[in-house]
């Protein structure tokens, strides 16, 4: 919950700052800008509301007394708290750009709101992945599994999805910000800009999906009982590896997507070149995320 | 739980491998993204040079990828050799 609140607060703060800037530029439109600010903030807030729901459930549900229960509670809390950071901050970017864009080009308010909503919705997906993993952790009956190494698998699953969501939320937000900005500058390019935005955002989400995949494997695979320390550590390390490794590539892909979208808005003729270079650049940035996935899978299945 | 020396070393090696690859993936990912971003900007400004710019971007990214590959090598060493 604490982590989740940080992200939402930063995202909403950014939106409010942009809204003020926009109202300053075009005071006549303050009503529209204010409305758009509130909608954008509501979306940024939703990630932290997910975190609040999980925190409330952790506090007020009666959980069965079992050795694994504390691990489940810690993992669910970490997963949702960390997972809300990126989506909260990321959703703030398109909302801020939309507010500024309305001040600049009041006629495209409707289109800007649509773009903002689509872009922020994609930013929220990693937070929703985290929510799903938290719910599965809370409602799965782990009592039939061996305590060791299941405790490490549970923690690893939570950490993987939680940390893995940070980068994708942020990266998706950067791309959406450029698209709102671009639509405001050149309303005629709205269609290609939205298409490339969705493409770029889809690539930034891939590492969050790897992290989700690793979490699912850790939660649903049954591991043989062990007395040793090494097997549980391998599972915990798999979660850490995929979770941390997903942050960088997603943010980097977000930078690439942001520039590509911004320049397609200015120079629509070169959409093919720009999309190609964006995808090639993103593919290279993705490689370290894939290395992390490989190492995580080796840790789970081979060693 | 009977924990012995060999077991602790193995456990630490696994944890180390995960942390090595995880942290090692952050920098190259962000750096390569920046290179790609600047390449997109430059192609937007000067589309005629797209070929040259793409080549420069790929060379730059290959260099920044190297630390990610070092992390991968260290992780695999920790997993399979130690």
Note whether B44 contacts A264, CB cutoff 8 Å: yes
The larger pLDDT score, comparing residue A286 to residue A23, is at: A286
Residues whose CB is less than 8 angstroms from the CB of residue B54 and which lie 6 or more positions away in sequence, other chains included: A277, A280, B39, B43
Residue A228 contacts B where some CB pair is shorter than 8 Å: yes
Residue B74 contacts A where some CB pair is shorter than 8 Å: no
Residues whose CB is less than 8 angstroms from the CB of residue A142 and which lie 6 or more positions away in sequence, other chains included: A66, A68, A72, A150, A154
Burial of A94 from C-beta contacts in 10 A (0-12 / 13-18 / 19+): buried
What per-residue confidence (pLDDT) applies to A91? Answer: 87
User: In this complex, how many residue pairs, one in chain A and one in chain B, have their CB atoms less than 8 Å apart?
Assistant: 210
What per-residue confidence (pLDDT) applies to A2? Answer: 61
What's the sign of the alpha-carbon dihedral B42, B43, B48, B51?
Answer: positive
Separation in Å, CA of B16 to nearest CA in chain A: 8
Check if the beta carbon of residue B52 is closer than 8 Å to that of residue B69.
no
Q: How confident is the model at residue A288 (pLDDT cuts 50, 70, 90)?
A: very high
What per-residue confidence (pLDDT) applies to A37? Answer: 84
- What residues of chain B, 34 to 63, have a C-beta less than 8 Å from chain A? 34-41, 43-45, 47, 50, 53-54, 57-58, 61-62
Residues whose CB is less than 8 angstroms from the CB of residue A65 and which lie 6 or more positions away in sequence, other chains included: none
What per-residue confidence (pLDDT) applies to A301? Answer: 92
What per-residue confidence (pLDDT) applies to A8? Answer: 67
pLDDT in tens, A239-255: 999 999 999 999 999 99
Alpha-helical runs (H) found in chain B: 5-45, 50-80
pLDDT surpasses 90 at A291: yes
What per-residue confidence (pLDDT) applies to A63? Answer: 80
Q: How many residues does chain A have?
A: 303
Burial of B67 from C-beta contacts in 10 A (0-12 / 13-18 / 19+): middle
Residue B78 contacts A where some CB pair is shorter than 8 Å: no
Q: What is the mean pLDDT of residues A11-31?
A: 71
Separation in Å, CA of A27 to nearest CA in chain B: 32
Residue B73 contacts A where some CB pair is shorter than 8 Å: no
pTM of the model: 0.89
Specify the CATH number of the domain B5-80: 1.20.20.10
Portion of chain A with pLDDT greater than 70, in percent: 93
Note whether A249 contacts B24, CB cutoff 8 Å: no
For chain A, the structural domain boundaries read 2-302
Looking at the domain A2-302, which fold is it?
Answer: 1.20.120
Note whether A258 contacts B17, CB cutoff 8 Å: no
Residue numbers in A near B76 (CB within 8 A): 295, 298
A274 → closest Cβ in B1, B35, B40: B40
Q: Tell me which long-range contacts A12-16 makes (C-beta under 8 A, separation of at least 24).
A: A12/A41, A12/A44, A12/A45, A12/A88, A12/A92, A13/A92, A14/A89, A14/A92, A14/A93, A14/A95, A14/A96, A15/A40, A15/A41, A15/A44, A15/A92, A15/A95, A15/A96, A15/A99, A16/A41
pLDDT in tens, A85-125: 888 888 888 888 888 888 888 888 888 889 989 999 999 99
Residue B28 contacts A where some CB pair is shorter than 8 Å: yes
pLDDT in tens, A203-222: 999 999 999 999 999 999 98
pLDDT surpasses 80 at A17: no
pLDDT in tens, B33-67: 999 999 999 999 988 989 999 999 999 999 999 99
A248 → closest Cβ in B8, B30, B44: B30
Residue to substitute from B30, B42, B53, B67, interface A, most A β-carbons within 10 A: B30
What per-residue confidence (pLDDT) applies to A130? Answer: 92
pLDDT surpasses 60 at B2: no
Q: What is the mean pLDDT of residues A36-62?
A: 84
ipTM of the complex: 0.90
């Amino acid at each position: 919950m604490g982590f989740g609140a940080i992200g939402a607060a930063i995202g909403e703060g950014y939106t409010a700052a942009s809204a003020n800037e926009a109202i300053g530029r075009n005071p006549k439109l303050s009503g529209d800008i204010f409305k758009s600010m509130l909608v954008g903030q509501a979306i940024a807030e939703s990630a932290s509301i997910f975190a609040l729901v999980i925190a409330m459930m952790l506090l007020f549900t009666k959980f069965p007394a079992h050795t694994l229960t504390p691990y489940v509670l810690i993992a669910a809390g970490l997963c949702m708290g960390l997972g809300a950071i990126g989506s909260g901050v990321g959703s703030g970017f398109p909302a801020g750009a939309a507010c500024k864009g309305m001040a600049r080009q009041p006629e495209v308010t409707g289109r800007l709101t649509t773009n903002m909503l689509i872009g922020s919705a994609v930013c929220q997906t990693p937070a929703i992945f985290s929510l799903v993993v938290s719910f599965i952790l809370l409602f799965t009956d782990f009592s039939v599994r061996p305590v060791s190494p299941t405790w490490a698998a549970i923690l690893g699953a939570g950490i993987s999805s939680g940390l893995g969501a940070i980068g994708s939320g942020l990266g998706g937000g950067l791309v959406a910000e450029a698209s709102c900005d671009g639509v405001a500058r050149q309303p005629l390019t709205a269609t290609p800009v939205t298409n490339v935005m969705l493409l770029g955002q889809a690539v930034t989400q891939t590492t969050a999906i790897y992290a989700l995949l690793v979490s699912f494997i850790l939660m649903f695979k049954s591991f043989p009982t062990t007395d040793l320390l090494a097997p549980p550590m391998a599972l915990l390390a798999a979660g850490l590896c995929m979770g941390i490794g997903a942050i960088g590539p997603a943010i980097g892909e977000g930078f690439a997507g942001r520039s590509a979208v911004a320049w397609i808005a200015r120079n629509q003729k070169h959409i093919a070149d720009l999309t190609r270079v964006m995808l090639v650049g993103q593919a290279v940035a993705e490689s370290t995320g894939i290395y992390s996935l490989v190492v995580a899978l080796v840790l789970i299945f081979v060693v | 739980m009977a924990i012995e020396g060999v077991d602790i070393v193995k456990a630490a090696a696994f944890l180390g491998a995960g942390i090595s690859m995880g942290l090692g993936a952050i920098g190259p990912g962000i750096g390569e993204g920046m290179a790609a971003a600047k390449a997109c900007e430059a192609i937007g400004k000067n589309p005629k040079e797209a070929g040259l710019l793409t080549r420069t971007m790929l060379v730059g990214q290959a260099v920044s990828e190297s630390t990610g590959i070092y992390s991968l090598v260290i992780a695999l060493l920790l997993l399979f050799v130690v």
